[in-house]
Amino acid sequence: MSDREFDVLIIGGGPGGLACGQYSARAGRKTAILEEMACGGQTMIIDEIENYPGLGTISGFELSSAFESQAVKFGCEIIYATVEEIVKNEDKSFTVKTSDGDFKALAVVISTGAKHRNLGVPGEEKLRGHGVSYCATCDGPFFKGKKILVCGGGDSAVQEANYLTKLSDNITVCHRRDRFRAQSAVVKALEDTGKATFKMNHNVLSINGDSKVTSVTFLDKTKNEEYTEDFDAVFVFVGNEPQSQIVPFAELDKSGFIVTDNRMRTSVEGLYAVGDVRNTPFRQIVTAASDGAVAAHDASEYIDELKGNAY
């Protein structure tokens, strides 16, 4: 095999990709992860992770680094390049076209994760970076002691609001429904800080300000009333969009997540998907890591069959 040919190429170095890289390399498969920026994915920007089994509380940076060094230790290569196209060849192999030239592989694992969704209201785009943020760990410290609004009702919104209570006693969480989607333990942890107030059944209509966020206009759906309240910053956590555009030829669900079976196989032979980009009911670091291990195992068996080594 040339240095551009692999048994398994993994696209994306988040927890799913890194776990897959570790398992695949350890199983003796020539494996590489193609990563655009830095390994770790969205895990990198999480301040504290307290639900990864066996590790107590750990920062996202520490956990990502540990995943990466363990994959590398077993021989998985990390190649920094942007994937532009994936082509399935007639001989069943794949050509992965990147900013650093073409690579070939017998199996490809998509681990491209998901990117944050926008709220989609007036003012959001204009004030992005001027009080509108999508990352509490990155931008929270700029708003120490300030009045902060967090939008969203999932685990990310509630967990990140909890992080922001370390920086300000004045946190408001705004959710469009009357119940959180977030796990109850995550909600309770935020309530227990005593530093957050909740606007349930509220829509954000606009984020206001000329050069920085100064206020937010809401619709209180219970009272059917519009009103405006002063805020210094708005943190938006309203879910994620799957990064599945790179495999338009694979079956996607109606939200764009890649459809897999329980071995992480997609609709295309030799193509796997793991972690947040696939249609999984529960998106956690531990489930992404598990997906990675399962995909590596199945890809290894698939490669044995291709090479005629199956027993």
- Looking at beta carbons only, is 131 or 275 nearer to ligand NAP? 275
- Looking at beta carbons only, is 271 or 288 nearer to ligand NAP? 288
39 catalytically annotated:
no
Of 155, 232, 291, 298, the residue at the interface with ligand NAP (CB under 6 A) is 155
The DSSP result for 218-243, as a single string, is EEETTTTEEEEEE-SEEEE---EEE-
Question: Binding string, 225-264, against ligand NAP, x = CB under 6 A?
Answer: ------------xxxx------------------------
20 catalytically annotated:
no
- Looking at beta carbons only, is 27 or 219 nearer to ligand NAP? 219
Nearest to 190 by CA among 216, 221, 153, 144: 153
Q: Is 51 in the site for ligand NAP (CB under 6 A)?
A: yes
Residue that has been written with the tokens 């890194």 in this structure? 18
Bridge partners (DSSP) listed for residue 78: 33
169 catalytically annotated:
no
Of 64, 159, 172, 243, the residue at the interface with ligand NAP (CB under 6 A) is 159
Question: Binding string, 160-199, against ligand NAP, x = CB under 6 A?
Answer: ----------------xx---x----x-------------
Asked if 43 and 14 count as a contact pair (C-beta separation under 8 A), the reply is yes
- The rounded distance, in Å, linking the Cα atoms of 271 and 260 is 10
Q: Which of 138, 178, 192, 230 is catalytic?
A: 138
β-strands 31-35, 5-11 pairing: parallel
- The rounded distance, in Å, linking the Cα atoms of 227 and 206 is 11
Q: Is 221 in the site for ligand NAP (CB under 6 A)?
A: no
Q: Tokens at residue 220, please?
A: 């209180």
Judged by CB under 6 A, the number of residues near ligand NAP is: 21
Q: Tally Cβ neighbours within 10 Å of residue 23.
A: 24
